[in-house]
Amino acid sequence: MNTAPIKKRYYFISALVIILGIILLFLPFNKNRNQLSAEKLLLSITNNDRFFSTDEVAKFIISGDPSYQLIDVRSEEEYAKFSLPGAINIPLSKILNKDKSGYYEWEGYLNQKVKTNIFYSNGSIYANQAWMLTKRLNYPNNYVMKGGLNEWVETILKPKQPEASASQSALNQYDFRIAASTYFGGGSNISADSSDKSNTKNNTTSAKKKKKKSADGGC
Amino acid sequence: MGPLITQGIISPEWNPMIAFIVGLGFGFALEQAGFSSSRKLIGIFYGYDMIVVRVFLTAVLTASVGLLFFNYLGWIDYDLVFVNPTFLWSAIIGGAFVGLGIIMSGFCPGTSFSALSIGKIDALAFIIGIGIGVFFYAETFELLFEKLYYAQNLGGIRIYETFGISPGLFMFLFILFGLGIFWFTIFIKKKYSNRNLKY
What is the average pLDDT across A169-178? 85
Number of H helices, E strands in chain A: 8, 5
Among A6, A29, A113, A136, pick the best mutation site for testing chain B contact (most B Cβ within 10 A).
Answer: A29
Say whether residue B70 is in contact with chain A using an 8 A CB cutoff.
no
Count of C-beta atoms within a 10 Å radius of residue B47 = 12
Q: Which of A142, A148, A77 is nearest to A106 (CA)?
A: A142
Q: Which residues of B touch A138 (CB under 8 A)?
A: 7
- pLDDT value, residue B24: 93
pLDDT digits (tens, 9 = 90+) for A94-124: 888 877 766 778 888 888 888 889 999 988 8
Say whether residue A37 is in contact with chain B using an 8 A CB cutoff.
no
CB pair distance less than 8 Å for A214 and B167: no
Q: Which residues of A touch B108 (CB under 8 A)?
A: 219
CB pair distance less than 8 Å for B79 and A215: no
For residue A168, pLDDT over 90 is answered with: no
Q: Which of B43, B154, B28 is nearest to B88 (CA)?
A: B154
CA distance B85 to chain A (A): 6
Q: Which of A49, A53, A51 is nearest to A156 (CA)?
A: A53
Q: Which residues of B touch A1 (CB under 8 A)?
A: 186, 189
What is the average pLDDT across A114-142? 85
CA distance B77 to chain A (A): 6
- pLDDT value, residue A214: 52
For residue A83, pLDDT over 60 is answered with: yes
- For residue B27, the Cα-to-chain-centroid distance in whole angstroms is 13
Give the rounded percent of residues in chain A with a pLDDT score beyond 90: 1
Per 3-state DSSP, chain B is made up of helix, strand and coil in percentages (nearest 5) of: 75, 0, 25
Q: How far apart are CA A57 and CA B193, in angstroms?
A: 76
- pLDDT value, residue B185: 83
Say whether residue A17 is in contact with chain B using an 8 A CB cutoff.
yes
Q: Which of A35-44, A135-144, B98-107, B115-124 has the lowest mean pLDDT?
A: A35-44
> Could you give all domains of chain A from N- to C-terminal order, each with its CATH number?
38-201 (3.40.250.10)
Length of chain B: 199
More confident of the two residues B51 and A216: B51
- pLDDT value, residue B21: 95
Amino acid at residue number B191: K
Of B110, B172, B179, the CB nearest to A219: B110
Say whether residue B168 is in contact with chain A using an 8 A CB cutoff.
yes
Three-class SS state of B119: coil
- The secondary structure of A124-190, three-state, reads CHHHHHHHHHHHHCCCCCEEEECCHHHHHHHHHHCCCCCCCCCCHHHHHHHHHHHHHHHHCCCCCCC
Say whether residue A38 is in contact with chain B using an 8 A CB cutoff.
no
- pLDDT value, residue A188: 46
**Residues A79 and A72 sit within 8 Å (Cβ to Cβ):** yes
Query: Which residue ranges of chain B lie beneath pLDDT 50?
Result: none
Q: How far apart are CA B35 and CA A182, in angstroms?
A: 72
B145-148: long-range contacts, CB 8 A cutoff, minimum separation 24: B148/B89, B148/B90, B148/B93
Q: What are phi and psi of A116, to 5 degrees?
A: -100, 115
CB pair distance less than 8 Å for A17 and B175: yes
Say whether residue B109 is in contact with chain A using an 8 A CB cutoff.
yes
Q: Where are the domains of chain B?
A: 84-157
Among B65, B108, B147, pick the best mutation site for testing chain A contact (most A Cβ within 10 A).
Answer: B65
Say whether residue B153 is in contact with chain A using an 8 A CB cutoff.
yes
Residue A32's pLDDT band, with cuts at 50, 70 and 90, is low
Residue A37's pLDDT band, with cuts at 50, 70 and 90, is low
Q: What are phi and psi of B119, to 5 degrees?
A: 85, 35
pLDDT digits (tens, 9 = 90+) for B49-67: 788 888 888 889 999 999 8
Q: Which residues of B touch A9 (CB under 8 A)?
A: none
